[in-house]
Chain A
């Protein structure tokens, strides 16, 4: 078979170059084999790719197994070939053209699908920079800032103006301003924790005192800021200008709603004798080193109920005049005392009973504490008749009336004689009355009443425990009792929880009652006793204790906190315009109610 093979290659500038060869062959092999008649140097061509045979009836193409051949675009495995066919062999196109004279077959071979630029393809496949991978810093920056603003600024503000501002209703579920919550609400305010605007009443305005006072309306101030001589002291005017949230910070959980810092008090109180001498206060500092000795508020005159603060460091001055006589020593004797049913030993808690639910004691009264032993029976023949306690006039009247009645009913005798109703008169007979009984019943009764009253009031009953006096005209039988003025709390400005200490300490650990012979003794322990266990705020080997462990800032008796502050501000403004003015008296923190017994 005579063939003409033309290799065409296109030039970059246009035009076609042609290299032809004439061969005389058995068959036309296409492939990468060097033996192939048409050598196609391309890795996409198989070693033996296809072959064109001459058969009877014309030319025929046979395709090797796995090879890729298309005739006029149609995949082919074997078929006749005619002039005009374009045979696609891998990346080559083989066109069958009209054979010239004497040739059986003429083909044109052209590489139409070259591999292309390796470098360009490699660059195209590769992603060499992160930026080429679709990461966009700018887009994500916008997303970041806008998302943050939308979620945490716009949404809560919109929510506020749509819901919170209009209603104080509790809201349920997720609310956008939850992200603004700077910390947990204290336990005592948790019940309003879902009503932000109860406290935060106006946007961009700090929580105002009025918001606090809407619930805490009775909270009193530390002093009366309107008092002129306090207003002139910078420390007082500075403190008066403080708002509630200067001291009380919410959203810190339970840790700091109330100030516990020692320095908060000490800043003023360590020099208060000098700054405010009129207040009768002692300088105070750290509990361990700088706290003054306790000053007991004791009754110094029972008649006028005068109460004076006297330091425990001055034992000579400590002489409480309560109007009572009560030797603790006698009652607490270890061998016991005589009781209604024989000898018995008394304990402190026989009389001093802790009030349930409170850190203090029940008031001690005749009824309950003394009466069991000290019964007010004035006539041994009538143990059922007793004098009324606390009613001096009635008691004297009762004695007088008792003996008047006794005498009138014929009972005039020696008090040791049997009662008059034992002498019965037989009908029709006269009772013989002994001569000594034939006296005036009124005289007898008066003498008897005075004698019994003198004994009862002077010695056996009233006078045993109370200061009594006798003088004409002081009562029906000339006796008077000084009212008992028992101080319920000797240290009213401090808090002391007896129940918190009683499981560990005995009463006599602190109170020297067993050796106290007089009711005038002030049986308070000195501060040194407290310091055995309690140290200052930063104490390392003692219980760290700060001012507020025992003292309140908001003092009972002082003006109300919120109105007081407003008044102080107004007063300050007036002072600026009108000069200093007098104000109402400062509430004396010393003031307290004495027990009335």
Chain B
């Protein structure tokens, strides 16, 4: 962090003091080349983290230090990259590379935020259970529901069977992230059973009560399981932006450097 702060301060100071002779700042001044070269080196070094983190017990600094440096130097790159542009933007590969860099860093900030916030939420949500345990319990509840429904009408049995057979956890990206299933079979079943219970005979009341209790418990478990999936997805989703766009950035960066010197 100290390094990152020092680099940022140094860059800003240099930019402040630097007066381009043509009155316009951009990547083509000596400071522009210095900032650009250093920024490009930083991008490659930051991407190296993806390789370094897979080398368990690698030599050198511990992974925690690498991660810390990755975060702080990545944030410092916003300043370095922006100063390198000299605040000149356009519809070209140069600004494209800059935009990709900013998106990658911002996605990294999201990732950082998720990793700081989500694990605690996840622990609270699980209440000592794992997702597998939750799903086992949900399955057990399905069996109990069927059991409870046997004594009730055919319609109820159909409903309960559907609730067991069609309920799913997670799904597409949005389902996983929202922790919501608008078509949740269990919720629909619960609603339908409650509706039918209004017309239940006194003899069936106990059966309905039991069934509704089971369904409510299952809904609660489902909600928790879906939240768990959501939290896992949150820990993952930013990487789908961060990593592929990092590589796109690397490509754009190479194209940017080639183009600048090709048409020097």
Contact = CB atoms under 8 A, between A and B. Distances in A.
Interface residues of B, number: 69
A205 B96 contact: no
Identify the interface centre among A41, A127, A128, A129: most chain B CB within 10 Å of its CB. Answer: A128
Interface in A120-150: 121-123, 125-131, 133, 135, 137, 140-149
A255 B87 CA distance: 14
Contact of B264 (A126, A181, A207, A248): A207
A553 interface: no
B186 to A, nearest CB: 11
Contacts of A178: 92
B22 A204 contact: no
A177 B263 contact: yes
A117 B247 CA distance: 43
A248 B167 CA distance: 70
Interface stretch (A258-266, A322-330, A369-377, A565-573): A258-266
Contacts of A182: 26, 88, 90, 92, 94, 260
Interface residues of A, number: 68
Contacts of A127: 168-172, 175-176
B23 A261 contact: yes
A438 to B, nearest CB: 89
A131 B233 CA distance: 9
Interface centre among A32, A41, A117, A248 (most CB of B within 10 A): A32
Interface string B207-251: 000000000000000000000010011001101100111111111
A157 interface: yes
Contact of A180 (B92, B158, B233, B239): B92
Nearest to A126: B169
A196 interface: yes
B160 interface: yes
A206 interface: yes
B258 interface: yes
B173 A130 contact: yes
B26 to A, nearest CB: 7
B37 interface: no
A115 B165 CA distance: 9
B252 to A, nearest CB: 4
A137 B170 contact: no
A261 B236 contact: no
B55 to A, nearest CB: 18
B150 A128 contact: no
A371 B246 CA distance: 83
Contacts of B161: 43-44
Interface in B130-154: 131, 135-136, 138-140, 142-143, 146, 149-150, 153-154
B233 to A, nearest CB: 5
Nearest to A117: B139
A228 B126 CA distance: 86
Interface of B is mostly: helix
A443 B244 CA distance: 114
Contacts of B237: 130
B65 interface: no
A506 to B, nearest CB: 35
B93 A179 contact: yes
A140 B246 CA distance: 10
A182 B255 CA distance: 13
A24 interface: no
Contact of B176 (A130, A249, A255): A130
A160 interface: yes
B21 interface: yes
Contacts of B160: 43
B153 to A, nearest CB: 7
Given A32-B157, A43-B161, A133-B172, A179 B239 contact: no
B32 to A, nearest CB: 11
Contacts of A157: 258, 262
Given A122-B167, A204-B262, A263-B21, A152 B252 contact: yes
Contacts of B192: none
A121 B138 CA distance: 11
Given A118-B140, A133-B173, A145 B23 contact: no
A259 B21 contact: yes
B206 interface: no
B164 interface: yes
A355 interface: no
B107 to A, nearest CB: 12
A144 B248 CA distance: 4
Nearest to B235: A130
A420 B23 CA distance: 82
27 contacts: A117-B139, A127-B170, A128-B170, A133-B173, A140-B243, A140-B244, A146-B251, A147-B248, A151-B255, A152-B251, A152-B255, A153-B251, A153-B254, A156-B259, A160-B262, A178-B92, A179-B93, A180-B259, A181-B92, A183-B88, A184-B90, A203-B262, A203-B263, A204-B262, A247-B21, A255-B23, A256-B23
